[in-house]
């Protein structure tokens, strides 16, 4: 059986042509890539490949006996690449091995940097490679879409829990954190904060000036409070802060005084100062209290304390219940 080598290279780019002694006369261009680190010319085939099915083969006479049979082998290299093939008689008693990768073609393409030009145009491996490439592209597109969807979901969730004007948490976010703290039995405090004289800013300077004041006040709250605290805007000029793991009334009083001083600083809007202050009511949730408290109970206590602070002259803070309960009762009479 005689073919011009140029034709063999095109039709069977993974062929190995053996002489009558079993030594390599030539290999196809794709096999040359696989053997590029090995001097294959004149080598006995058994030093290059390990044929193990249908049974071990080490002599060319055994290859002649297996003409037309399906062969399985491994390359004798560090990668131990799997090959499948068939032997056919060649001229002068030689043997032609036509080889392929079978289902391991994708691994071989990656390991040896092969392209579609390394395969015969009729080889189904080309179609398989295109399918694999299409699948990879589809999977990458799917991963990209999933990342975008997850990002969109996170952004939507962030918007759902954020006050659009100030960037603080909103009432929905506040209720979510407050319910969690109540269920956990944790020790925490609630600050109810109301801006004094804010209505005058809106009435005399307009809502744009009022919005600017709210944004500056929100920034001040974030600067004064701890990063672990939840700072929320729950109404026009009403704010609530949840402070987790707080045990010291003195620390809370210090935080409240610092925040009041910070908010009292004039806020420049369109070249003119706007002045507001803040009244703060504080309620603490103690784990050992005999009566279980709901989230609404704690918000009401902080509100009662806020009324007491306003009654004392504004720009003040007050705690619930000791010094606030009697004052709150007088307010509501």
Tens digit of each residue's pLDDT (9 = 90 or more) over 22-64: 999 989 999 888 887 777 888 999 999 999 999 999 999 999 9
Condensed to tens digits (0 to 9), the pLDDT of residues 119-173 reads: 887 777 766 666 666 667 677 777 877 888 787 777 777 778 899 999 999 999 9
State yes or no: pLDDT of 174 exceeds 60. yes
Q: Which of 3.30.70.270, 3.10.310.10, 3.40.980.20, 3.40.190.10 would CATH assign to domain 171-331? A: 3.30.70.270
Predicted local distance difference test score (pLDDT) of residue 322: 52
pLDDT of residue 309: 92
Write down the domain spans for the chain: 5-122, 123-160, 171-331
| pLDDT classification of 189: cutoffs 50, 70, 90 | very high
Contacts of 229 (CB under 8 A, 6+ apart): 241, 242, 243, 244
Q: How far apart are CA 220 and CA 217, in angstroms?
A: 5
Calculate the CA 294 to chain-centre distance: 36
Q: Write the DSSP symbol of residue 250.
A: H
CATH, domain 5-122, list 3.30.300.30, 3.30.450.260, 3.40.50.970, 2.60.40.790: 3.30.450.260
For residue 331, is pLDDT > 70? Answer: no
- State the pLDDT at residue 329: 46
Token couple for 6: 């140029």
| pLDDT over 70 at 250, yes or no | yes
pTM (2 decimals)? 0.55
CA–CA gap between residue 151 and residue 145 (Å, rounded)? 10
Helix (H, G, I), strand (E, B) or coil at 37: coil
Q: Which of the two residues, 101 and 280, has the higher pLDDT score?
A: 280
């Amino acid at each position: 059986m005689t073919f011009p080598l140029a034709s063999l290279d095109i039709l069977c780019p993974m062929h190995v042509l053996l002489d009558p002694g079993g030594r390599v006369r030539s290999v196809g261009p794709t096999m040359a890539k696989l053997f590029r680190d090995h001097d294959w010319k004149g080598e006995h085939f058994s030093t290059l490949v390990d044929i193990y099915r249908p049974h071990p083969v080490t002599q060319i006479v055994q290859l002649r006996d297996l003409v037309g049979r399906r062969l399985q082998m491994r390359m004798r290299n560090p990668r131990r690449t799997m090959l499948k093939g068939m032997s056919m008689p060649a001229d002068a008693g030689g043997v032609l091995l036509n080889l392929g990768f079978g289902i391991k073609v994708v691994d071989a393409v990656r390991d040896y940097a092969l392209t579609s030009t390394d395969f015969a145009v009729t080889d189904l491996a080309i179609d398989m490679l295109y399918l694999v490439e299409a699948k990879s592209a589809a999977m990458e597109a799917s991963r990209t879409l999933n990342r975008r969807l997850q990002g969109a979901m996170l952004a939507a969730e962030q918007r759902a829990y954020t006050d659009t004007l100030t960037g603080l948490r909103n009432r929905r976010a506040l209720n979510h954190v407050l319910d969690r703290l109540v269920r956990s039995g944790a020790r925490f405090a609630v600050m109810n904060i109301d801006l004094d004289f804010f209505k005058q800013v809106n009435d005399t300077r307009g809502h744009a000036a009022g919005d600017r004041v709210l944004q500056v006040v929100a920034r001040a709250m974030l600067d004064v409070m701890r990063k672990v605290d939840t700072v929320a805007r729950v109404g026009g000029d009403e704010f609530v802060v949840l402070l987790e793991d707080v045990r010291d009334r003195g620390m809370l009083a210090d935080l409240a005084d610092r925040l009041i001083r910070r908010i009292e600083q004039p806020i420049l809007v369109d070249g003119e100062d706007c002045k507001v202050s803040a009244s703060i009511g504080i309620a603490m949730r103690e784990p050992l209290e005999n009566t279980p408290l709901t989230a609404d109970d704690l918000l009401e206590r902080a509100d009662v304390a806020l009324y007491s602070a306003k009654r004392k002259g504004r720009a003040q803070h007050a705690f619930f219940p000791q010094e606030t309960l009697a004052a709150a009762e007088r307010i509501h009479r």
